[in-house]
Structure 1
Amino acid sequence: MERVKEEIERLRYLLEEHNHRYYVLSDPSISDQEYDALMHRLEELEAQHPELITPHSPTQRVGSDRTEGFATITHRYPMLSLSNTYSYDEVKDFYERVCREIGRDVEVVAELKYDGLSISLVYEDGVLSRAVTRGDGRLGDDVTANVRTIRSIPLRLQGEGYPRELEVRGEILLPWVEFERINQSRIAEDEPPFANPRNAASGTLKQLDPKVVAARKLDAYLYHVPGEQPELPHTHYERLACCRRWGLKVSHATHLCHSLEDILAFLDHWDAARSHEPVATDGVVLKVNSIAEQEELGYTAKSPRWAIAYKFKAEQVQTELLSVDYQVGRTGTITPVANLAPVAISGTIVRRASLHNADFIASLDLHLGDTVAVEKGGEIIPKIVSVVPSLRSVSAPRVGFPSVCPACGTALERIAGEAAYFCPARSSCPEQQRGRVEHFCSRKAADIRIGPETIDLLFEHGLLSDIGGLYALEEEQLLGLPGFQRRSASNLVRSIEESRERSYSSILFGLGIRFVGETTAKTLARAYPSIDELSAASQEDLCAVPEIGPVIAGSVVDFFAQQSNRSLIETLRGAGVQLSREVTEQSDSGAESVLSGLSIVISGVFALHTRDEYKALIERLGGKISSAISSKTDYVLAGEKMGPAKLAKAESLGVRILDEAAFLALIEQGTDDKHKH
């Protein structure tokens, strides 16, 4: 069981890191398929050990693309992600499952999947009133001013027949032509080019100046009208047709499929034809057509059970391996990176690719000058997948892995059971210290507004060697550096001053303790109100904290056991940085809620309230909405046309079934009925 806990902790940490890189930084470091493999493994372990599931697990949430500087909006309907599949067999499994659960053959709408930034548009009386990013699925950023600059999104709907309030969802995209134009301009101005159109679209939409957004000529495709709205058609395909009539841009690559054969034919066609599309695509989305059947199938915590995304196989090309660099991360991990002869893949020029670790290099038997096959995993991350030995020169030297740190010369070490080598000289390795400073300054940590280039500059000129050195910087020192003027120097010093007021949990996250992400830092800060109490805790003490297992506990103990880290804490204390929790968090539970702790499944059509109103009511009263009936279900709120399969399952498990009247009576009775149950 301890090994299971350790693996779950490791997977959660990795997934949170990749969520942050993908949704917040727009700088993913692994492919969608690799991410999904990690998520599937975590889901598998949590299914086997449900007692280890926590509310903060990545399986219970959607990744966030929230950005400071924009107003926060709560979505009326959650914006969930889709489950991914990579094979026709998995598509077949999806189709057969939905047919089996509905009890008959279902119609499925197949749509080309575009690779951009998800958006929700709200029209009131036909006029665009709000545009919100997906965010974390529940809360998103209000980017209305920026979206108004996108010419393909109408500010006013055409024709007639649209509802008084219409929400429609889609994808903000940057066409290939614009992507190349912008990158050429950035290179000419000595700015780093965007990695791919999705990153460019994401970065553009988050600009605080709408004029910048307008100049980049974003595009959009709309593909979904959420919710049960009686005035709209009762099928997804007909709703898309309405959107077209009202002037909304809907993809031409949409087809109503009546069988599995229809679906596979659509996949075959667009796997080849997508290369002619003017925007980036990465797969096909399959959705059950009937809105009623969608509601019957329901949702998991992360995604609808009535839809799935099929991802195309990545495009693969051959090029030459020129050299290999070895990068040192802030935790000391050594990552090999291949330098390649420039080659075009999926619309972008690729010059570098990850080689993962020493074992990966050895498995390829890689030699300098090799002809290698490169693909973009998930259409984003370039990676070497194979070598062509027949084209290798007999004198080509084999690529080895260094035995010492390329930054400081310290002998590398490898932890048993882990793939990576790391440099143990945490306090003296300059690359690790650079990485730690950059992490400490990040928005969710100390929030010091400084870029990696400036950090490099400070290290190169001897003004900075670790995190503590930030608080010794003075304006006059900065004015002697290239590119610094009085205003920029003053802004940096002021930002450092403001970081002294950051919360204890933010600073704890910023220290970069291995396996301690943002959520874990908050958990530790609640359990140990000061860093002194935390540093004195034993591994056994830490393991007694909910959601803290032996891997995290061991990492925390190891961090505070190092003299260099204890010295850093004292430096931060002397600088006035918050190292304790000043205000105890107040419990928001209040009096016991009527439905507190109860799991409720909603099924069918209702007369007095909509399903969404019932969902909101249940959550407000402390209940939890579940999409599937199980032995853990407390009640089923049953309306008209409840699926016979769900009804039979509830009865077989002895789950109490309530109609609208009985459910409302339960709420009115207060907590008495809950205690009897």
Structure 2
Amino acid sequence: MTAAKNRILELRAELDQHNYRYHVLDEPSIPDAEYDRLFNELKALEAANPELITSDSPTQRVGSAALSAFTQVRHEVPMLSLGNAFEETDMREFDRRVTEGLDLPAGDLFGGGATVEYSCEPKLDGLAVSLLYQDGVLVRGATRGDGTTGEDISVNVRTVRNIPLKLHGTGWPATLEVRGEVFMSKAGFERLNATQLEVGGKTFANPRNAAAGSLRQLDSKITANRPLEFCCYGIGQVSADIADTHIGNLQQLKAWGMPISHELKLAQGIAECLDYYRDIGERRNALPYEIDGVVFKVNSIASQRELGFRAREPRWAIAHKFPAMEELTELLDVEFQVGRTGAVTPVARLKPVKVAGVTVANATLHNMDEVARLGLMIGDTVIIRRAGDVIPQVVQVVMERRPENARPVQIPEKCPVCGSHVERTQLIKRSKGRETVSEGAVYRCVGRLACGAQLKQAIIHFVSRRAMDIEGLGEKSVEQLVDEGLVSSPADLYALTFEQIVDLEGFAELSSKNLLGAIEDSKKPGLARFIYALGIPDVGEETAKVLARSLGSLERVQQALPQVLTYLPDVGLEVAHEIHSFFEDAHNQQVIADLLRHGLQIQDQGELAAEFAASTTLGGFLDKLHIPSVGPGGAQKLADKFGSLQAVISADWLDMRQALPEKQANSVREFFALEENRQLAEAAEKQLADFGMHWQSEKKVVEGLPLAGQTWVLTGSLELMSRDVAKDKLESLGAKVAGSVSAKTHCVVAGPGAGSKLTKANELGLKVLDEEAFVVFLKEHGVPV
């Protein structure tokens, strides 16, 4: 018993320290897997010795049985709200009141007055809570409520991972009430809503609603599964003073295990406060959590006490709010737009309203499933949300304001652009030889490139910078070429003549010659760039690069069967079927043939990548056929027993039973009894042989790429090549090109105008190359420049 008790105490102390380093210091010292191992060891020991379980153990953050209702808690020190400032003049008026209240000298024509020290931190958009510690142990959690009376949510706050159940260190007051915000990060919010959609549950409008709803669950097991976090911003009742400044209090709380804001800062005077507000405002969208303003507090505790309180708010603190991200407005109508793949998307037309400083008249509705989820009708009053550069979206309907003449939103039967039929997509889930068909969320126009909207979007994508990179063909020019009947497929671009375009609006002799020159210059694209330009559904730049590097030629990519494509990294079965279906389509085949006929010469083509030569095994191949009831182990047994696909197909019952149990043996025989399955398997095996991927193919020696495993960053403006070209050259050597600098970055290439990334690289002592040195480096590695 003594050994178990000692080990339990050791594990608790170690896990508490790791929680502190991870959640408070943001400096994890062990990988997640090691933390899980320690946690599971503690959990097993406590299960074997239940009498040793205490409420402050890290294992006790699981939810308990559902409560019938929350009990009320009276706050010994009221949890008051803050006064708000919306303009710079409001902040200067606040500073004036503080200065006068403290009887400090004011400024005059001959100089400034006294400067007040303020603490500055972001105002998190979550739920305010109170945590009461007695002798360092968490005994109660409560909501703010009306400021005087809140709800007891003790069982729920215990499930929040970064709230310490027992304070670290020593020296804490016997009674200590910590106040702060429970919130949900943007990433956590997205994960929660995705999970809710999967299980058919309720989704949340924003992270604040998600956090509040999660924390007020009567069943704390639900709370325990929500990605909640806590950030401390102050103290309430306390049996002994901690520090003589607000920031001093927070720093001490951090030492005792409380998470505080990484953005906490001390400002000397109101001018520095305003600078902080502007800086946070510029970085707001990049923060991992939602904020709705900045909180400024007089830093001196003695000064806070001297200033005191108004009826509902302290005189020594204020919240400088950002422009509202959410506003109410009226849904005037819903129109439908047609995209590149034919998706017919509903768009909300709104009564114009100012949101986050921008007038919003339109908002995305995503798809008809989203319209149904919102319960949206034309004429409704709705809540619109806009976050930074994100397209405004409708997040909620105000049902109590619905007018009697509200109209339902109906998907059009005919495409609003070309009049073709609009049909609902079907989702096909493939697993173990079965296909499950269900209705998708997207409605699609079946007109394809006969639909002007799809044609225009397809051409715009085809000529874009990351695709064929045809300079001078913007959206307006593409629309004009399509409307004039000069272009009806991407291939038609290469048949344009000077006489056809010189008289078009916006074109003149020089611009026409420049455009034709740019079209001519695009005739030698790399294979990856060409595949991406084709606009295959679900195939972005990275997947296009995988296809090009792995298969090595356009011909192999066009021929590849789904079962073969899934051998490539990050290509799943659904994407493999999209790729195969695209190249099987007769119209797409004709467009590619026309492009090649007009002189396109695809570059960077060659042999199959060496790592894929003879890369398959018979067992793995049989497993990829998804034979019902036959997993990887059963597939390998078939391979070991029969040695070839044909032997498996033709095996009799007795031989099959020697390899597999009766149910699996029956399943294999029934699978290959279907002509369709047999032909598919034989065709896939033949293609593996044709490509050189078959288990009997010749194995090639894989030469490691020189920069494999390295991360590089490009910054500044390069003069001898574009950054896209530089990225391609680095990736051809095996490097990963990232957008930000970290301690894991191997090298930074810095051109003229390099800014913060170069500064951070120098601070971290990373290797930095200017463009001249980078060119030399590439030449040394045999990369043409």
* TM norm structure 1: 0.45
* TM norm structure 2: 0.39
Q: Which has the larger Rg?
A: 2
